[in-house]
A and B are shown apart, each in its own frame.
Chain A
């Protein structure tokens, strides 16, 4: 099939999920996972842009050391809303709710997720949460920081902390429902022959992330409920003036919020595990190691939360234990990096845009991961905790890692989602600009952090200015890199080349169906007989008739 279509110029299929139905109702009441993915795509892009505007304003403000652009309160609101938007409304839903929603059912070979209505509900919850957070923003903003530390947020701030917390709680349930749907779908709805050992690594990593979503998210919900109760009714759960314990808040907060970084990064790793074999024309190196390392990260991720609290007044012994366990979580990440690199060895490598993003991911994630070792080392963390070193570290993982993976995945599956190719040249240019801009923005922050510049500072000592200016300059380059795809993706919807079923000659069930896929994904439910990533051999999936 693929060899035939490579010669004949592909045409758009007559009926597909995008033109099956028209009108606003057909979108807002859709139960099709692919349409819900597109609803999510628009919504998270919106929140990403809002968060990006806040980031730009922060960087603009930090050009000068004395806090000349904004008032301190305004600055505090900017970084709070940047964090909340990016963490809860962009990073957590990004790959799972957009690409995962679109691809997981197709990759496992089924017509839809197990609970389409709950899937739609999840989008509505996300939007409701987003509305609360936007309302908190336009009604004066919130300056609690995205971490909501008590007793500051529960008893001292005068802004709409409760409204923002409610937004985050509601958005949390949207993430729970996405995770629940993935888990049930992967367990119960795989196509005939799609054994666990044949699951694409993207599905494995989304499955692992889903485990965290369903087990971790309820804990942040109850934590923020308690915080809101304390703030609303002036009771003392975390406020020591009334007998509460502020460190307990941190334990409960990080019990979710540390594993949450794996909700963000695991699906991104899944994207890379798809792109690298495809453009290397090779089986993924050590499939089962890559698959199980996802699960290992999810499991270990639950027992390392207190490494955010080494200077918070926890005991020496718990600090030692949490430091040790934090290294345990580093190992599976290292295993993944080595396996991706080994996959490229003796491949037949095409440097297309998704591959460029994947290579950027591997490099930046390596730096992000290794700088995590600095922070897990107890004696060293004392110095760099709560400095720009931490900011640089998690932006290397979250932006250099996750956003890069998301963009790579979006380019990779864009032809599948829309049926049309994006233009290759501007896409490569955007990838390059993003890479340069990103490093220019965040690398200086490592140095700033070790110099001792604390995070969340509205004004800073003048000797930090040069590095801050470099960082701000990088941010403007990065912004261009992020805005370019918006333009050429929009352009490609009308003018892009028709992609055909499988423009990348990739394996995987999603490439067997038409682009864009029909509403029920497959004309016939496929039967899987081959291993995943069976590049270099007859990788066709037989279709039942």
Chain B
């Protein structure tokens, strides 16, 4: 047993300080009021202890006091609420241009995929000083991704992607826990987050034996499952062209407009019938039970790289009204038009996989 035991968690992310500040404020509030009440009741119990000949002084109440001790806690509560909400809002807004890592939880392990194709199990390597966005999904039950040193936690759901992000500040090795009870080896679903300086991280990346970038793995899967048969850029294709789709609003057959983000792409693979792109037949079979979560992630990454424009779904969303205004029935043409308008924002070369038809907007 260690006798020198810690009573405060390490601070290893940009968020940790903010969370701890609120925590310490609350500890202060709690200590103050607990002591206030404790001292009062003990003081009263001694000062006004029952002695012969002294009667209790009857006081019926005081509306003024009631108002005071309603309003003061309310005021303090609102300060805490706003403070907590501000931190939360900051946590929930995805950073611009993050390092994107995908994580899959399953009974009872964590699998991570780096954009360069490196894979890890129960260990996650990240660099300091860079926003890291972890997109998470579960293969079975609900898990929860929890790194105490970063003060981040996110339940990992089996039916859709969720994300969390952090910016590590201190190199070191930190606990990674599953904090949502997930069956027998729940407490064995632990691992570590290894934070490295950017230089160390770069050499770690280089040492990893990646079979190719995540996008290239996705491209392989895309061809292996025969997706290219229908999802071609030519006009006679039976499926919508996926080039430039990621991060864009899309009009559906029932005239609704949805954003083509990770969740939409995943749904379209597993439940193709649910949201069919306007102008297309629902002829795509489901790939549920065929394609694994890892492959869906790779395919999504591939589709993301197919974008002529590296669009971030939430920061750079073209509004659905744009689509409504345009008379273009087909999303392919829609994208072409937009790309013609904004040729300057194309992705850096080399990140794009080969375009099979060589057709460019």
Interface, chain A (partner B; CB < 8 A): 67, 72-73, 76, 143, 145, 147, 149, 151-152, 155-157, 240-241, 245-247, 280-283, 285-289, 310-313, 316, 319-320, 323-324, 327, 330-331, 334-335, 337-339, 341-342, 344-351, 355, 359, 362-363, 366-367, 370-371, 373-374, 376-383, 385-387, 447, 450-452, 454-463, 465-467, 469, 535-537
Contact = CB atoms under 8 A, between A and B. Distances in A.
A461 to B, nearest CB: 6
A466 B69 CA distance: 39
Given A327-B80, A327-B81, A383-B152, 4 more contacts: A311-B154, A351-B49, A367-B30, A380-B23
Contacts of B29: 370, 373
Interface stretch (B3-11, B250-258, B300-308): B3-11
B81 A324 contact: yes
9 contacts: A152-B141, A348-B50, A366-B34, A377-B81, A378-B87, A379-B91, A383-B151, A451-B9, A466-B5
A363 B83 CA distance: 26
A451 B7 contact: yes
A386 B37 contact: no
B222 interface: no
Contacts of B57: 282, 346-347
B185 interface: yes
Contacts, number: 289
Nearest to A75: B187
B320 interface: no
Nearest to A71: B184
B278 interface: no
A377 B86 CA distance: 10
Contacts of A331: 70, 73-74, 77
Contact of B56 (A149, A280, A313, A455): A280
B77 A447 contact: no
Interface in B136-184: 140-142, 144, 146, 148-149, 151-155, 157-160, 162, 175, 177-184
Main DSSP-derived SS at the A contact region: helix
A285 B183 contact: no
A441 to B, nearest CB: 17
Contact of B187 (A72, A282, A344, A383): A72
B58 to A, nearest CB: 5
A231 to B, nearest CB: 13
B81 A465 contact: no
A282 B84 contact: no
B2 interface: yes
Contacts of A73: 184
B188 interface: yes
A380 B59 contact: no
B19 interface: yes
B88 A313 contact: no
B73 A450 contact: no
Interface in B7-44: 7-9, 18-19, 22-23, 26, 29-30, 33-34, 37-38, 40-42, 44
B179 A454 contact: yes
Contact of A330 (B44, B77, B142): B77
A458 B8 CA distance: 22
A73 B56 CA distance: 58
Contacts of A535: 56, 58
The 10 closest A-B pairs by CB, nearest first: A452-B148, A379-B87, A377-B84, A378-B88, A240-B159, A286-B61, A327-B77, A457-B187, A466-B5, A344-B44
B23 A459 contact: no
B1 interface: yes
Given A286-B66, A330-B73, A331-B70, A344 B92 contact: no
B19 to A, nearest CB: 5
A378 B85 contact: yes
Contacts of B185: 72
A382 B184 contact: no
Given A344-B45, A377-B26, A367 B34 contact: yes
B152 to A, nearest CB: 7
A466 B51 CA distance: 45
Contacts of A246: 142, 157-159
Given A145-B181, A363-B37, A381 B162 contact: no
Nearest to B93: A316
Sort chain B's interface into a size bin: 35 or more
Contact of A348 (B54, B77, B86): B54
B80 A450 contact: no
A428 B6 CA distance: 36
Nearest to A149: B142
B184 A76 contact: yes
Nearest to B288: A241
B266 to A, nearest CB: 11
A247 B141 CA distance: 11
Contacts of B183: 76, 143, 152, 156-157
A152 B69 contact: no
B9 A335 contact: no
A469 B1 CA distance: 10
A22 B44 CA distance: 47
B77 A379 contact: no
Given A344-B48, A377-B81, A452-B175, A311 B41 contact: no
Contacts of B7: 447, 451, 467
B30 A371 contact: yes
A362 B2 contact: no
A378 B175 CA distance: 22
A382 B88 contact: yes
Nearest to A325: B81
B239 to A, nearest CB: 23
Contact of A240 (B55, B58, B89, B158): B158
Contact of A377 (B8, B80, B92): B80
Nearest to B157: A313
Given A67-B187, A313-B155, A451-B6, A335 B70 contact: yes
